[in-house]
Structures are given as structure tokens and as C-alpha cells.
């Protein structure tokens, strides 16, 4: 069965954020699935997985490649789901191309899909050395290695390359900041709120409606 994952590690996000994503997934995913959260604590009403390792913040997302089994779909807690999720599923590791304007390209890891039965991606986590994590000049979870990789998506890019090489490019995922200030594109499935603002701070009707417990999938 398909497993939909998210990660809640640290104090930035709450149990309610996890439940909101769970409910959005249920409205926009047609096939049977289980919803799980890799976390550093039990979350009421959520199937929670607490790994033995304790990696800070977004770095803990890499542990999914070690522990997640079968067909997987991953969503950050600051995503807003606005369309069908089934079309995002992939056997091979699939991520959107990074849309940030920093110019470094690479993968965007707010949404990921892969099938652990099709390819074993455990080495992505196995190659991570917690002793190579240091306090960064920017960010809040530590920069990694001699290249000061900032965040799990730069680490994944370093190992896997840009989407279009080994990684399958994922469509239907966009940035609030760059693509959805006037509302989500018609073909969007997921809108990512990387950086600020986060969804809870946005008063636009479509965001509030998508995150509402009474919302109905279009």
C-alpha cells in the first residue's frame, strides 16, 4: 500500500499542522494509503514513527530513505494541497526542480515520491555523517560537509544530481512565492510555502479553504 509521509521534528510545527496535511491528503488522493509522520514525539491521532537516530530539523527527512518501505509520497508540513496527488507518484525518485532564484539549481525536496521496492535509496541516509553537520551562516538546522550544503535538498542534489538526470522531474508542484501569489496555477497539485510566509499566516481564501477541515476536494 502507498504510504504518505511527513516529518515533524523540533518545535517549528505542531501536531495540528500534521493533522491538516493528513486531511488534505485524504481529500486529494484517490488510492488507498496510510499516512505516517516521522517525528521526535508521539502525535495524537497520527501514526507516528520515532527513529532511533535524532537528526535535527529538516535533516531528519533523509531518514525516510532508510526506513520507508514500498511506494512513498512525502510532503513538507508547509505545503498546501490543491489538486490530485495520484499523478505525482513515481517508481524512481521524483522531485521538482528547485525554483529558487539563487541560481544553484538542484532538487526541491518539499514533495518527493519513490518506490523503495523498485530502488533501494537507503544509501542517501547511510552516506550522511552527523559529525559533518555544523552551525551555518544561514538556516537553523546546520550546514553539512566541506561544501556547507544548506538543507537536505542540497545534500540530495549533491548525491543524486539535478532532476532530469537520475531523479525524475516532478510536475504539478509550485512555489507560493514565485507562482501562486495570485492563486495556484490551474494544473497545480501542491503549493509549497518555503521560507516565509507559512500557510497559517496567509489570509487568502484559497489557502484557508484548502486547509480547512470542512474543505471538499474539487
**CATH number, domain with residue 49:** 3.90.550.10
Q: Is residue 217 part of a domain?
A: no
As a whole number of angstroms, the distance between CA 176 and CA 178 comes to 6
The number of distinct structural domains making up the chain is 1
Instruction: Encode pLDDT of 135-191 as tens digits.
Output: 755 556 777 888 888 889 999 999 999 999 899 999 999 999 999 999 999 999 999
Q: Is residue 175 part of a domain?
A: yes
Instruction: Encode pLDDT of 69-128 as tens digits.
Output: 999 999 999 999 999 999 999 999 999 999 875 556 789 999 999 999 999 999 999 999
pTM of the model: 0.93
Under 8 Å between Cβ of 188 and 173: yes
Q: Is residue 65 part of a domain?
A: yes
CA distances from 15 to 12, 21, 33, 185, 207 (A): 10, 10, 20, 29, 19
Domain that holds residue 88: 2-211
Q: Is residue 216 part of a domain?
A: no
Q: State yes or no: cis peptide before 105, omega within 30 of 0.
A: no
- CA 58 to the chain's CA centroid: 9
Amino acid at each position: 500500500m502507498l504510504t504518505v509521509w511527513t516529518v515533524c521534528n523540533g518545535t517549528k510545527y505542531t501536531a495540528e499542522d500534521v493533522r491538516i496535511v493528513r486531511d488534505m491528503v485524504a481529500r486529494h488522493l484517490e488510492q488507498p494509503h496510510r499516512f505516517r509522520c516521522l517525528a521526535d514525539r508521539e502525535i495524537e491521532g497520527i501514526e507516528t514513527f520515532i527513529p532511533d537516530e535524532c537528526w535535527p530539523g529538516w535533516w531528519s527527512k533523509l531518514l525516510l530513505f532508510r526506513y520507508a518501505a514500498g511506494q512513498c509520497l512525502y510532503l513538507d508540513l508547509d505545503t498546501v494541497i490543491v489538486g490530485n496527488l495520484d499523478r505525482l507518484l513515481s517508481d524512481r525518485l521524483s522531485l521538482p526542480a528547485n525554483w529558487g532564484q539563487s541560481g544553484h539549481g538542484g532538487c526541491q525536496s518539499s514533495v518527493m515520491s519513490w518506490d523503495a521496492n523498485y530502488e533501494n535509496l537507503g544509501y542517501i541516509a547511510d552516506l550522511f555523517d552527523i559529525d559533518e553537520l555544523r552551525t551555518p551562516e544561514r538556516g537553523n538546522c546546520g550546514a553539512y560537509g566541506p561544501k556547507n550544503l544548506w538543507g537536505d535538498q542540497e545534500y540530495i542534489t549533491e548525491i543524486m544530481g539535478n532532476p532530469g538526470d537520475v531523479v525524475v522531474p516532478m510536475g504539478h508542484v509550485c512555489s507560493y512565492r514565485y507562482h501562486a501569489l495570485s492563486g495556484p496555477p490551474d494544473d497545480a497539485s501542491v503549493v509549497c510555502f518555503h521560507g516565509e510566509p507559512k500557510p497559517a499566516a496567509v489570509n487568502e481564501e484559497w489557502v484557508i479553504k484548502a486547509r480547512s477541515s470542512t474543505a471538499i476536494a474539487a
